[in-house]
Amino acid sequence: ISRRGILGLFGAGAAGAVVGAAGGAGTAVAVTGAFGGPEASAAYDFHGTHQAGITTPAQDRLHFAAFDVSDSLDRAGLVGLLADWTDAAARLTQGLEVEEGGAVGGSDHAPPADTGEALGLPAAGLTITFGFGPTLFEDAAGVDRFGIAARRPPALQALPRFQGDALKAEWTGGDLCIQACADDPQVAVHAIRNLSRIAFGRASLRWSQLGFGRTSSTSTSQSTPRNLFGFKDGTANVKAEDGEALAEHVWVDAADEPAWLAGGSYLVARKIRMVIENWDRVQLGEQEQLVGRSKGEGAPLSGGTEFAEPDFEATGATGAPLMAATSHVRLAHAASNGGVRMLRRGYNFVDGNDQLGRLDAGLFFLSFQRSPEQFVTVQRSLASDGLNEYLKHVGSAIFAVPGGIRPGEHVGQPLFA
């Protein structure tokens, strides 16, 4: 019995309602689920021009995983893994099990094909997005394990070291990544768990991250959520409905190099610890100065409402700029970075607490851009960000995200053609 089959028994007609997503804009259709809140039972197309999980309205939960490919795997083995992952992802995102009858098809001699914990749950808006890290093309020893080094995107390099970086090897890098987003954490975790299981002996988990409470909107239909500093996050994001901005800032173009990455993007992941105990002792006015926006409405300090453009020239009674020189929004804005923008899609995290009784909390920053240079430019500009006193970048990774997958193909197929 498939997950959808089980739902059918309960008469959940809305389960698995398909919402176009991978194709781009116009996808923000909220479906009221029989068992949950809005979008609980939405299922997004797995196939399309672009991979889902980028412009798809940001779901509430994340399980992100970076993998290392086994040294014993050859090119055919890697292609086999990508094909198996693609098949499974196409099913999981539609609310189905890994295989037909997967969780009930085991026997005394074989474990079930699907681990089972999502049985009876709807698709929950699950998207699965795959990425290829620099070390897939050339490992640390410079070895071209899969005969793809010549097709490596020139821009796909480990990120440079940034001022203040306190990166830990255990949250850095990876040959492959999978971003699983869903409105139900159990569904996102089930996806990563089963994809890891499928990879057994071929690729293993290097590091992973759970996230909650999206810290961005990727569609104008969504309200702006808040990060753990309590500020609205995602106001000035590139959104699904802005096709021109997506083409200019997010999607790799057929004219860009290499051609196999057309319709794809570059994903940057940064695990950013927030020292929230110190932040919580900062006065409201000072917090707002550091961000450059009001805490309540999220309006720029230069005036207007949430979506008003900040006026960086505006000055106050003392002659000082209303958007402080070291404010995050000023330094991150396109005006400070030669017009550069990106699509942010991060999540909050709380990984328990440290030995001093402080929450091990922060923002798992994810951004999609047409070139890694966009992230590098903005992150360098943020070197003088006043927020840095309360932030520590502890993890980092970059991946090339292939374009959309056509039915019958596997992710990244043009790379191996």
Rounded CA gap, 222 and 29, in Å?
10
Tell me the closest approach of the beta carbon of residue 23 to ligand HEM, in angstroms: 25
Among 332, 343, 366, 405, binds ligand HEM (CB under 6 A): 332
- Listed ranges 55-63, 137-145, 202-210, 235-243: which one lies at the site for ligand HEM (CB under 6 A): 235-243
189 secondary structure, DSSP code:
H
Q: Which residue has the tokens 């309602």?
A: 17
Among 145, 249, 293, 345, binds ligand HEM (CB under 6 A): 293
Rounded CA gap, 406 and 208, in Å?
28
The torsion angles phi and psi of 388, rounded to 5 degrees, stand at: -55, -25
Among 328, 345, 370, 410, binds ligand HEM (CB under 6 A): 328
- Listed ranges 52-60, 114-122, 187-195, 329-337: which one lies at the site for ligand HEM (CB under 6 A): 329-337
* Residues whose CB falls within 8 Å of the CB of residue 311, separated by 6 or more in sequence, listed in order: 300, 302, 303, 322, 323
Rounded CA gap, 158 and 350, in Å?
26
| Total of chain residues touching ligand HEM, rule CB under 6 A | 27
Burial readout 368-389 (b: 16 or more C-beta within 10 A, e: otherwise)? bbbbbebbbbbbebbeebbbbe
382 part of the interface to ligand HEM, by CB under 6 A: yes
Between strands 359-369 and 265-274, the pairing is antiparallel
Tell me the closest approach of the beta carbon of residue 333 to ligand HEM, in angstroms: 4
The separation between CA 23 and the C-alpha centre of its own chain, rounded to angstroms, equals 17
What's the chain's length in residues? 417
Among 58, 192, 378, 415, binds ligand HEM (CB under 6 A): 378
329 part of the interface to ligand HEM, by CB under 6 A: yes
Please identify, using beta-carbon distances, which residue of 187 and 382 lies nearer to ligand HEM. 382
Please identify, using beta-carbon distances, which residue of 35 and 279 lies nearer to ligand HEM. 279
331 part of the interface to ligand HEM, by CB under 6 A: no
Among 16, 131, 133, 234, binds ligand HEM (CB under 6 A): 234
* Residues whose CB falls within 8 Å of the CB of residue 230, separated by 6 or more in sequence, listed in order: 287, 295
- Listed ranges 6-14, 96-104, 121-129, 233-241: which one lies at the site for ligand HEM (CB under 6 A): 233-241
Please identify, using beta-carbon distances, which residue of 78 and 238 lies nearer to ligand HEM. 238
Whether 114 contacts 121, CB under 8 Å? no
Tell me the closest approach of the beta carbon of residue 66 to ligand HEM, in angstroms: 18
Which residues of this protein are in contact with ligand HEM, per CB under 6 A?
227, 229, 231-237, 270, 272, 274, 291, 293, 328-329, 332-334, 342, 363, 365, 375, 378-379, 382, 391
